């Protein structure tokens, strides 16, 4: 039982609260806890495809169900949950996943620059992102949207993101929109359960197991950077990216919010995000903002840059630049 | 009388309060991430904790230019040209190959330079030594170092390429800087990107969008 609740109840009991009433409440809470535990167990077994899974699977699920928020875990606990999730992926889908809980690298703050002059709308980045991040194929989820805009248009809100014709089209330019990884992120403030936060390296992440699916963050984001899983992620086994990160591209469940993580599983290992690596025109520049010799710093210093909706004060780490 | 005193007091306090609030952590365009990165001047040890791009199974050469005071590498070109060396055929000996016209590079359509002043083969290729390129000043350029040749006209792009605003790094943001060559992305004979179908289609997010 929660000792705090007992204390609150006991104190007035000494003075004017009738002892039997306090007992009644205590009994009720005990019974409620029992029901909740039973319900939890029933729910867990329900997750296993209607039947009880193996004993090992059930015990893993039980431990997963009662784990902490990722930010409160020690490194040992992170390693444990990662190992459990790897084992569960093996038991459920028969895939050998290598999951990581790599911490941020010291002295790194990630930044991104996108050249609106150079992007030709080939959409290679979107295809690479879907593949790398194990995005749900059933609902055609995509983190990146490329807007085709007429010359002179200023906001992607008037652009066309549904184009499907040979590109580039004359007198048009292309503007890619994805999570801006704001330094002052409104989505983080909106989350009622602290399931989303900004990591020290600037990446705004979601703890998928802590998310309750309220979608307040989606409503709060002015960049349309977040997506919601209306169903369990459907990813063909042979197309699945096996190198995963706890905060990154592991498979998402139904009712969880997700977003671009700058490919956290790649960037924390020194690699470029999948979109930047796939770009055939070099419109995407990624790097460490704290490194004065990085490409991103060169762009910010020498190019005409702007940020989308800068006036909102969200302080994005996603710049657009013009040649 | 009392109100008069408090009013003057308040008037005196106002600028002080304004100063205090102005100095506080107000969120503005000047603050935030821009200030954070502008104050970060200490060099970052790029080779710590990350894999090195130089270990990739691709060939690289060190670029003769220096990047912000440091060395950097670029992808090689020669190993990607079919039938290099060119001097295997382009020498003074007669070529005795059947269907020479077919295996030669007759398919190359030159679309480089303005319509008024298009480039020809020898604008870039060395006439005497076919394994090399040649600048306008007559400097011999190795095929792996094409940026030396391209940069004589496209000097702005070259400056951006050296700095990092044009072109792209290969696979890694950290570690030794290895970038793509000019010809990794641009066909030197027809450098403009071609019109083609997008790789994937974006389904509508909601009505009207």
Q: pLDDT tens digits for A157-178?
A: 889 998 999 999 999 999 999 9
For residue A278, which of B22, B72, B180 has the smallest C-alpha distance?
B180
What is the least distance, in Å, from the CA of A162 to any CA of chain B? 6
pLDDT at residue B96, as a whole number: 73
Mutate: best of A113, A161, A276, A295, partner B, most B CBs <10 A:
A295
> What spatial distance separates the first Cα and last Cα of chain B, rounded to whole Å?
64
Task: Return the residue in A271, A311, A319 with the most chain B beta carbons within 10 A, the one to mutate for interface testing.
Answer: A271
- Cβ pair A282:B185 closer than 8 A: yes
Distances (CA, A) of A80 to A55, A56, A102, A251: 18, 15, 13, 18
pLDDT above 90 as % of chain B: 38
Q: What is the mean pLDDT of chain A?
A: 87
3-state class (DSSP) for residue B153:
coil
Q: Which fold has domain A110-322?
A: Alpha-Beta Plaits (3.30.70)
Enclosing H/E stretch for A78: helix A75-93
- pLDDT (average), residues B94-119: 81
What are the extents of the domains in chain A? 1-51, 53-96, 110-322
**DSSP SS3 for A74:** coil
Task: Measure A163 CA to nearest chain B CA, in Å.
Answer: 7
Q: Could you give the CA distance from residue A198 to residue A112 in angstroms, rounded to a whole number?
A: 16
A217 in reach of chain B (CB within 8 A): no
Task: List Cα–Cα distances, A264 to A110, A204, B55, B178, in angstroms.
Answer: 10, 10, 21, 21
Q: Considering only residues A289 and B98, tell me which one the structure prediction assigns the higher pLDDT.
A: A289
A167 and B41 in contact by Cβ < 8 A? no
Look up the ipTM and state it: 0.80
Query: pLDDT of A78-93, one tens digit each?
Result: 999 999 999 999 998 8
Is B44 close to A290, i.e. CB distance below 8 A?
Answer: yes
Provide the residue count of chain A. Answer: 323
Measured in whole angstroms, the distance separating CA A41 from the mean position of its chain's CA atoms is 27
For residue A137, the distance in angstroms to the closest alpha carbon of chain B comes to: 12
**The pLDDT of residue A20:** 45
- Which of A130, A183, A270 lies nearest to residue B51, judging by beta carbons? A270
How big is the CA angle at A19 (ends A13 and A25), to the nearest 5 degrees? 90
Q: Above 60 in pLDDT, residue B185? A: yes
Q: What is the mean predicted confidence (pLDDT) over B13-41?
A: 67
Query: A134: burial class by Cβ within 10 Å (0-12, 13-18, 19+)?
Result: buried
Cross-chain residue pair B164–A298, CB shorter than 8 Å: yes
Rg of chain B taking only CA atoms, in angstroms: 29
**pLDDT above 50 for A186:** yes
- Gap between the Cα atoms of A223 and A155, Å rounded: 11
The DSSP secondary-structure symbol of A169 reads P
Nearest CA distance, B187 vs chain A (angstrom): 12
Nearest by CB to A121, which of B29, B36, B198?
Answer: B198
pLDDT at A12: 43
Q: Looking at beta carbons, which residues of chain B come within 8 Å of A107? A: 42, 44-45
What percent of chain A stands above pLDDT 70?
84
Q: Do A142 and B32 touch (CB under 8 A)?
A: no
Q: How far is the C-alpha of A313 from the C-alpha of A309, rounded, in Å?
A: 8
- Residue A142's nearest CA partner among A156, A128, A153, A152 is A128
B116 has a pLDDT exceeding 70: yes
Q: Is the pLDDT of residue B30 over 80?
A: no
Q: Are B167 and A282 in contact (CB under 8 A)?
A: yes
Q: Is the peptide bond before A49 cis (omega within 30 degrees of 0)?
A: no
User: What mean pLDDT is predicted for residues A296-320?
Assistant: 94
Contacts of B50 in chain A (CB under 8 A): 105, 269-270
Backbone angles phi, psi at A148, to 5 degrees: -90, 120
Q: CA of B147, closest CA in chain A: separation in Å?
A: 16
- Alpha carbon separation from A205 to A60, A164, A191, A286 (Å, rounded): 24, 31, 12, 18
Least confident of A46-50, A166-170, B126-130, B178-182: A46-50
pLDDT digit string (tens) for A242-253? 999 999 999 999
Residue B45: band (very low, low, confident or very high) from pLDDT cuts 50, 70, 90: confident
Report d(CA A283, CA B90) in Å as an integer: 38
R_g of chain A computed on alpha carbons? 24
Indicate the length of chain B as a whole number. 209
Least confident of A48-62, A220-234, A239-253, B119-133: A48-62
The least confident of A8-22, A145-159, B12-26, B63-77 is A8-22
Q: How far out from the chain centre does Cα A210 lie? A: 11
Can you give the pLDDT at residue B3? Answer: 62
Cα-Cα-Cα-Cα torsion B93, B98, B101, B103, nearest 10 degrees, comes to -100
- Look at residue A305 and tell me whether its pLDDT is greater than 60: yes
Chain B CB contacts of A130 under 8 Å are: 200
For chain B, what are the domain ranges? 46-185
Q: Looking at chain A, which runs of residues are DSSP E strands?
A: 98-100, 110-115, 145-150, 172-177, 196-198, 204-206, 226-228, 243-245, 257-259, 284-288, 304-306, 318-322
Helix (H) or strand (E) holding B208: none
């Amino acid at each position: 039982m929660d000792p705090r609740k007992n204390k609150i109840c006991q104190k007035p009991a000494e003075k004017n609260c009738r002892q039997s009433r306090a007992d009644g409440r205590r009994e009720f809470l005990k019974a409620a806890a029992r029901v909740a535990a039973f319900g939890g167990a029933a729910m867990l077994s329900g997750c296993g495809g209607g039947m009880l899974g193996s004993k090992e699977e059930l015990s893993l699920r039980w431990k997963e169900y009662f784990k902490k928020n990722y930010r409160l875990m020690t490194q040992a606990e992170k390693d444990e949950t990662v190992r459990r999730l790897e084992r569960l992926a093996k038991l459920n889908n028969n895939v050998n996943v290598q999951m990581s809980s790599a911490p941020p690298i010291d002295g790194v703050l990630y930044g991104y620059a996108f050249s609106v002059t150079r992007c030709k709308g080939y959409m290679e980045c979107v295809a690479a992102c879907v593949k790398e991040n194990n995005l749900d194929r059933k609902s055609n989820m995509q983190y990146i949207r490329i807007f085709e805009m007429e010359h002179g248009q200023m906001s992607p809100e008037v652009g066309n993101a549904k184009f499907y014709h040979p590109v580039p089209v004359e007198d048009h330019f292309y503007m890619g929109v994805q999570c801006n990884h704001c330094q002052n992120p409104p989505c983080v403030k909106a989350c009622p359960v602290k399931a989303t936060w900004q990591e020290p390296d600037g990446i705004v992440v979601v703890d998928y197991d802590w998310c309750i699916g309220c979608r307040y963050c989606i409503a709060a984001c002015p960049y349309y950077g977040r997506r919601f899983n209306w169903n369990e992620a459907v990813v063909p086994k042979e197309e699945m990216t096996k190198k995963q990160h706890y905060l990154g591209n592991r498979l998402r469940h139904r009712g969880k919010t997700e977003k671009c993580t700058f490919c956290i599983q790649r960037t924390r290992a020194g690699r470029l995000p999948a979109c930047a690596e796939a770009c055939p025109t070099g419109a995407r520049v990624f790097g460490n903002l704290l490194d004065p010799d990085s490409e991103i710093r060169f762009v910010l210093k020498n190019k005409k840059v702007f940020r989308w909706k800068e006036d909102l004060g969200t302080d994005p780490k996603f710049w657009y630049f013009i040649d | 009388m009392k109100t008069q005193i408090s009013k003057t007091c308040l008037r005196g306090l106002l600028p002080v309060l304004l100063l205090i609030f102005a100095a506080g952590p107000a969120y503005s365009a000047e603050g935030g991430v821009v200030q954070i990165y502008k104050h970060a001047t200490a060099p970052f040890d790029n080779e710590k904790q990350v894999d090195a791009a130089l270990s990739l199974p691709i060939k690289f050469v060190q670029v003769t230019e220096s990047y912000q005071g440091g060395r950097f590498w670029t992808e090689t070109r020669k190993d990607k040209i079919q039938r290099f060396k060119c001097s295997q055929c382009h020498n003074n000996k007669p070529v005795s190959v059947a269907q020479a016209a077919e295996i030669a590079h007759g398919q190359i359509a030159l679309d480089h330079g303005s319509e008024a002043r298009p480039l020809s083969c020898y604008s870039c290729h060395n006439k005497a030594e076919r394994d090399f390129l040649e600048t306008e000043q007559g400097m011999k350029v190795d095929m792996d170092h094409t940026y030396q040749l391209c940069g004589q006209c496209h000097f702005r792009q070259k400056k951006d390429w050296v700095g990092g605003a044009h072109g792209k790094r290969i696979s890694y943001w950290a570690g030794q800087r290895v970038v793509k060559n000019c010809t990794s992305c641009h066909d030197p004979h027809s450098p403009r990107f071609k019109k083609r179908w997008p790789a994937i289609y974006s389904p509508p997010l909601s009505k009207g969008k």
